Amino acid sequence: MIDYLIQNLWLAWLLVGIVCLILELMNGDFFIMCFAIGGFCSSISTVFTDSIVVHVIVFAAFTVLSIFSVRPIALKYLHQGADSRPSNADALIGREGEVTDTIEAGGYGRVKIDGDSWKAKSVDGMEIRRGLVVRVLRLESIIATVECC
């Protein structure tokens, strides 16, 4: 069985790529697509070598490269902020949420938007108490800058 797998290793890597591509179509965040790219590149590398170590290195290298290069481009040009899922940060701008932990003056608190909790800070540096409704003005990394509605 092991010999068969080693002889047909490209099939295993191709299967990894196809499964990740199917998961990507269901998810739509372009993160799993990076694993699909790594799987496809590993299946191509079997033409050059039968070393499992080389295949794993190729898989890891192309996955990481695509996370930093392909995914941001895909999110920017394919979604264009029209996606309502919280995984697409641009879709949160302008949305309203409820403060779950008081946002301290000059500090941070938490805001719940569509069931997801986000770290937040006040746009004017004023304290915003728990339970108030706020609007997201911009998003920097995972921190939402908010104002009271």
> What tens digit of pLDDT does each residue of 110-146 get?
999 877 888 888 888 889 999 999 998 888 767 888 8
> Which residues is 136 bridged to in the sheet?
146
Average confidence (pLDDT) over 35-41 = 77
Task: Return the minimum-mean-pLDDT range out of 5-9, 15-19, 60-64, 110-114.
Answer: 5-9
Q: What letter would DSSP give residue 84?
A: -
Q: Tokens 């403060």 correspond to what residue? A: 99
On the CB side of 92, CA atoms within 13 Å amount to: 27
On the CB side of 26, CA atoms within 13 Å amount to: 6
Task: Return the minimum-mean-pLDDT range out of 2-11, 74-83, 134-143.
Answer: 74-83
Reported as a pLDDT band with limits 50, 70 and 90, residue 2 is: low
The pLDDT of residue 85: 46
Q: Which amino acid belongs to residue 94?
A: G
Can you say whether the dihedral through the CA atoms of 141, 147, 148, 149 is positive or negative? negative
The pLDDT of residue 132: 92
Q: What is the 3-state secondary structure (H, E, C) of 30-73?
A: CCHHHHHHHHHHHHHHCCCCCCHHHHHHHHHHHHHHHHHHHHHH
Q: What letter would DSSP give residue 92?
A: G
The pLDDT of residue 88: 57
Cα gap 98→117, rounded to integer Å:
10
Q: Is the pTM of this model over 0.75?
A: no
C-alpha closest to that of 97 among 67, 139, 55, 66? 139
Cα gap 31→72, rounded to integer Å:
9
The pLDDT of residue 86: 46
Average confidence (pLDDT) over 56-78 = 76
Structure-model confidence comparison of residues 80 and 22, the more confident one = 22
Is the pLDDT confidence value at 39 over 90?
no
